[in-house]
Amino acid sequence: MNKSRLIFFFAVLAVVFGIERCNSSKTAVTQAQKPGPSPSPTSSNSSLLIPPPAASPVATPTATPVLAQSSATPPDLRKAADRIASAVVALSVFDGPGRLLKNGTGFFISPDGKLATSRSVINEGAHAVAKTTDGKIYNVTGVLSQDPARDVAILKTEVKEAVPYVAMDKAASLDASKRIAIVSSPVDRRADNVAISALGSHQSKTAGEWSDLAAPVDIDSLGAPAITENGEILGIVTLERGEGSALTVVRAANALTPLVSHIDKRTKATWAVVSPDEIPPPAEGPSPKPKTTPPPVAYPPGTKKLVYAPRPRYPNEARRGPFIQRGSGRYRISFGRDGAVHSVQIVESTRSQLLDSAAIQTLRTWKAAPGTDWSAEVPLTFSP
């Protein structure tokens, strides 16, 4: 009797367990068939290849400042500036010991390397280098012609092939109603190498026609060309010295005409010390101050400026022997982030071991502003 009850108990327990299991399975199926809430757009889903719609409006506001910044320079003036940018150079002028005196701007006016700039940029300089937008560095051999009263000068650079230049026959007259663009070298300024301004009403004929600027320009823009929206050369940025402080002006392009006309094949470029004849009379400004050593120049990170670049000297050993050695070469110089020269490579030899050695030895002493790694080709010519 006890055995029968025990079997009956287990049979009932098995039936109850089976009914309970069946009910739980139906409940699970019913819940699975009910529509659930759609996934939130913010929920993480690694299988999504297209971002949710809410992500697209986020990027839209950031595009507005970029468009506003790019439209700061009118398109017509920007196109005109871009056309002549390859002829505009960044000038670095050094004293005798190789210390940096000034930075300025210039522009080629002939394919053989004649360079126009403000005399204030190269005054008291002993040597200089010109850097173009394609990264090449040209040695400036000296001054061909200059006009202290108009603050303009023509320099000569060492070039082995024709360089892009600005045609001076497309000179426009000073017109206060026109907008102008002052084009500095894009080497360091990149997209910020164009300054837009209007001409002021003050003009003078005593030292050439000139006009002041309605908007201020950077001091490194001295020597830069001023152009119209049609690409015509309006003039050159110089200083006008009077009884007060010097005024930054646009000198009419015809101020360069008499300087160029006095240059011929016999004219030798030189770096001359300022003579007493070149000191302006008291009516043009205060007496010149004694020369002082300029303070160290600090450049922001990422700039590419030379702070020490002496010209290689002609070696005395090259004068000896039956033939005097002459030659021209090109050398690639690489700077590190610390501003020191990391390597100098011969791109084109002078065909003289003495001349190449003299070039490499001097180029290794060059210094640049710390900030970034960069390199440039330097053309050099050796002659006794």
CATH code, domain with 188: 2.40.10.120
Q: Does 317 lie in the same domain as 172?
A: no
Of the residues 273, 301, 334, the one at which a domain ends: 273
* 97 and 160 together in one domain: yes
With residue 347 as reference, give the H or E element that holds it: strand 341-348
Residue 23 lies in a domain: no
Distance CA 15, CA 167 (A): 107
In a domain, 43, yes or no: no
Q: Would residue 68 count as lying in a domain?
A: no
Whether 361 is in a domain gets the answer: yes
Out of 273, 300, 323, pick the residue that ends a domain.
Answer: 273
For residue 98, tell me if it sits in a domain.
yes
- The amino acid sitting at 152 is V
296 found inside a domain: no
What CATH number has the domain bearing residue 328?
3.30.2420.10
Q: Do 338 and 203 reside in the same domain of the chain?
A: no
Least confident of 1-10, 59-68, 242-251: 59-68
Q: Which of 273, 297, 331 is the last residue of a domain?
A: 273
How far is residue 197's CA from residue 222's CA, in Å, rounded to a whole number? 15
The answer on pLDDT for 127 being more than 80 is yes
Do 87 and 213 fall into the same domain?
yes
Report the number of secondary-structure helices (H) and strands (E) in the chain.
Answer: 7, 17
The rounded mean pLDDT for the chain is 76
Range of lowest pLDDT (44-53, 84-93, 122-131, 144-153) = 44-53
29-87 pLDDT, tens per residue? 444 444 444 444 444 443 333 344 444 444 333 333 332 333 467 888 888 888 999 99
Q: Is residue 55 part of a domain?
A: no
Residue 119 maps to a domain: yes
Q: Are the CB atoms for 125 and 94 separated by under 8 Å?
A: yes
Span of 49-53, 120-124, 264-268 with lowest mean pLDDT = 49-53
Terminal-residue alpha carbon distance, the chain: 135
Q: Is the pLDDT of residue 227 over 60?
A: yes
Domain hosting 221: range is 75-273
What is the pLDDT confidence band of residue 223, given thresholds at 50, 70 and 90? very high
Phi-psi region of 305 (alpha: psi -120 to 50; beta: other; left: phi over 0): beta
Q: Are the CB atoms for 126 and 255 separated by under 8 Å?
A: no
How many angstroms separate the CA atoms of 106 and 230, rounded? 20
The answer to whether the beta carbons of residues 349 and 356 sit under 8 Å apart is: yes
Same domain as 317, residue 269: no
| Burial class (CB within 10 angstroms; exposed 0-12, middle 13-18, buried 19+) of 255 | buried
